Structure 1
């Protein structure tokens, strides 16, 4: 064997060993990335600025207050200490807000039907998932949009079940093929639960729909007691209509959900420059004030009920007034809100990963990457709308959902940060290589040991050399995403036991 052949053989053997090592499954606790990793390294606000925003939010609640609470909410909040003025607005004294913050639930667990997917919302643990109410499904091959259907939602849930880096599934599309609103709410719940065993979020279009949907949920759970022991669905609730108004029907629906034992997401979704102030800091002030009012509302009904502090301020492109979900300003708003969640010690959620691009292209990549990384580094507990969302929340793309799993993997690796330990900075490895060793670290014991525990590898991202890429017939990223999406859909079905599925379909009009 000549020298060049021998060198080629060594490289080939080393590569084969590395490939085999990467293919071996890892125990959950030593994976380089996993759900609930701790962020918080990035802080766009100083401690003084956080305190200033807090003070401004308390002042807004005392001086401006919120209007249009339903009578049931007025009664609960005034009994707790809120003051209703002659103008009908509820105002919240500082002492009341502080008392309710003391009662609010912390370190909550959002259960999943499969306990391995439970989400522990404490400190700065980070989880990425879907959300939104897109009305279109994006076809990136034909470059078209069409109305989203209940089958599309079910397919999205089945795909999320197979994605390691998408940790929960909140309803991401509206079933526009179902015209009856109650049937739409029932089918939304059932499509999500049939597709994934991860924690689910949904909303209800009318308060009267909560009771029949809870009947369906109890049947899925195996009874009301089993449901209350492990509630695996949360209510995404737009309880306010910014600026500083309660949404009456949503508030009544929220009251029903609380009494039914369902965790709630207190969602304030103002748009800076439109329904929220244009300054980024003041947009955060309004969102914080509205969500603090939500904390008072929830805890005046059921102290300690699990609620997520959902400050979701969005951004306007001030040239047009259109939403700009993929902007740097959006990333700053979300990261700033994450700091406020941590300041209060409350489980928090906000939006990131939205793309203004209409297709999964380079623009979508940079928008999703920047906003998700900043949200994760800021220690946001629940990163909603992190994958799949296009056209500023109007379109959802299944292929983008698959591609987004790679983006979130890289974001999670950034969240993990750099491990500085005695072993990781020991000079022994350098001495072994540099002092009479091979002069490189390829194939060393340390390198092989860290290949899977320190480094992440994309499932679809292409790291071939140009020569390898040509030899592989120039694989296309989008084509590979289409193939992976279809492979998942072809190989998975409903998670509902057959007999339970038959019973549910006999009782309710299921459309998928």
Structure 2
């Protein structure tokens, strides 16, 4: 039955009723994996030039400090170790490995509804980072982050529609043993959410125990290999153009264990990467191409994310500037290079240099995330919660960021131009003898949830309504929503498995 035409007051009641009704996933205005790619800061000629320069760098400069196992793997594949110890990559080798590299991969969640399909220009937003502090909005202070904070962040993320995956966002600084820290980092993420999880390992020796934990959660190694729901964020290079020996050894072990890897190159333009934006992209591309060769020399077609992740320096001070326009351009340019190779790719956006979730944080997170989304970046890491140039993580900002990402994903979706959406029949109905407005029209009511996105916390009241509601403040509402989520968010591990894990591992959160 068509909705009844109503006046202004009735229209408002109808809109509220419609907004309260849940929508099926296929008709929601935004969802994970929407196609971006409309924003292209690099021309086709520019991408080809960056590619050529990256191949030159690999062939002429190469990378130093590969572990002995890496030297054997890479030289057996066709790389050349020079008298200076550097591994150089002939063009033909890079092209051969690009030909067998995995494309159109899926990063699994523990529930299939959270699977991330990384193909084309499908966009997904999530967390990441290694913040060493938590931002306490009750006191406007920074304190050491803990395993409990990480678990809480995962639990909140599980209940946020627009944060599609959870990668370790902070360091468990209350866990002093490195092995226990890796275990707690992994388990806090898995216990908090069934979305895809990303983590890292501080030492290769920790991989076996952590894989044992993962197999326990999965229900056995075979079940894990069928649907690997954890990926390894692997800083296999130390820019500029050096392998990170222990990380490379860890990567080798995890590829053989069936874990997807994020090949992460995180230079800082003007410091550990060149200052020109284009040349910073060249170095990141070269380093990640070396990773593509490395991974596919171990296991052709293993799922790997092309993690060109260059950051920006404020060249006046050398400080990181993750919320800058230059950072937004770097990330968007990297996304284009991922498409140039047709490889699943990830990069960073949404970082704020502000210390608190204030206006500066809002513009920095909004600008960098919207350019990342419009560029068609498959995996947008660090997109919510990050402050102080990655030194601080804020749970309330995580909640606020869900609203930002909702608006960003609406921009990614773009404008639907169809015969129905451009028909003037609705205009005739309103203008020729109708009420003179569209507030209560059937078309408006039909589209209000499938065409428009509404913030959960963002305030769109009139000044009169805002005053009558007691002048609610945005941060107070964020604190309230954070507390509401945590009050109802339980552990995502079955009780018997949780007990078994806690009996075998030293878990620091409750």
TM-score bracket, shorter-length normalisation: over 0.9
2:336 paired with 1:339: yes
Gap regions ≥5 residues in structure 1: 1-8
2:436 paired with 1:423: no
SS at match of 1:342: helix
1:358 match: 355
Q: What displacement does 1:11 show?
A: 2.2
- Measured in 1, the distance between the counterparts of 2:411 and 2:55 equals 34
Q: What displacement does 1:249 show?
A: 0.3
SS at match of 1:267: strand
SS at match of 1:190: helix
Contact map agreement 2:122 2:376 (CA 8 A) in 1: yes
Q: Could you report, residue by residue, the CA deviation over 1:455-477 in whole angstroms, capped at 9, with x for unpaired residues?
A: 00000000000000000000110
Q: What displacement does 1:432 show?
A: 1.2
Q: How does 1:438-477 map to 2 (within 5 A)?
A: 438-477=435-474
Deviates more, 1:500-509 or 1:131-140: 500-509
Gap regions ≥5 residues in structure 2: 1-5
Q: What displacement does 1:499 show?
A: 1.1
2:213 match: 216
- Measured in 1, the distance between the counterparts of 2:122 and 2:492 equals 28
Q: What displacement does 1:219 show?
A: 0.6
219, 223, 234: which one aligns with 1:237: 234
SS at match of 1:464: coil
Q: How does 1:431-442 map to 2 (within 5 A)?
A: 431-442=428-439
SS at match of 1:120: strand
Q: How does 1:148-227 map to 2 (within 5 A)?
A: 148-227=145-224
2:52 match: 55
SS at match of 2:50: helix
2:322 paired with 1:325: yes
Q: What displacement does 1:434 show?
A: 1.3
TM normalised by structure 2 equals: 0.98
SS at match of 1:145: strand
TM normalised by structure 1 equals: 0.98
Q: What displacement does 1:431 show?
A: 1.2
Q: What displacement does 1:141 show?
A: 2.8
Contact map agreement 2:230 2:260 (CA 8 A) in 1: yes
- Measured in 2, the distance between the counterparts of 1:346 and 1:442 equals 45
1:5 match: none
Q: Could you report, residue by residue, the CA deviation over 1:34-73 in whole angstroms, capped at 9, with x for unpaired residues?
A: 0000000000000000000000000000000000001111
Contact map agreement 2:314 2:320 (CA 8 A) in 1: yes
84, 87, 111: which one aligns with 1:90: 87
State how many pairs are aligned: 504
- Measured in 2, the distance between the counterparts of 1:33 and 1:416 equals 7
- Measured in 1, the distance between the counterparts of 2:342 and 2:7 equals 54
Q: Could you report, residue by residue, the CA deviation over 1:340-386 in whole angstroms, capped at 9, with x for unpaired residues?
A: 00010000000000000000000000000000000000000000000
- Measured in 1, the distance between the counterparts of 2:277 and 2:489 equals 44
Contact map agreement 2:232 2:260 (CA 8 A) in 1: yes
2:256 paired with 1:256: no
SS at match of 1:266: strand
- Measured in 1, the distance between the counterparts of 2:95 and 2:353 equals 38
- Measured in 2, the distance between the counterparts of 1:11 and 1:331 equals 41
Contact map agreement 2:7 2:439 (CA 8 A) in 1: no
393, 397, 412: which one aligns with 2:394: 397
464, 487, 493: which one aligns with 2:484: 487
21, 41, 46: which one aligns with 1:24: 21
2:268 paired with 1:271: yes
- Measured in 1, the distance between the counterparts of 2:305 and 2:132 equals 25
2:472 paired with 1:478: no
Q: How does 1:367-386 map to 2 (within 5 A)?
A: 367-386=364-383
1:4 match: none
Q: What displacement does 1:164 show?
A: 0.1
- Measured in 2, the distance between the counterparts of 1:363 and 1:141 equals 19
- Measured in 1, the distance between the counterparts of 2:358 and 2:489 equals 27
2:422 paired with 1:407: no
Q: What displacement does 1:497 show?
A: 1.0
2:237 paired with 1:247: no
Q: What displacement does 1:297 show?
A: 0.3
Q: Could you report, residue by residue, the CA deviation over 1:201-259 in whole angstroms, capped at 9, with x for unpaired residues?
A: 00000001001100111111100001001000000000000000000000000001001
SS at match of 1:175: coil
Q: How does 1:6-25 map to 2 (within 5 A)?
A: 10-25=7-22
Deviates more, 1:448-457 or 1:13-22: 13-22
1:284 match: 281
2:309 match: 312
2:508 paired with 1:499: no
2:140 match: 143
SS at match of 1:138: strand
Q: What displacement does 1:112 show?
A: 0.4
Q: What displacement does 1:279 show?
A: 0.1
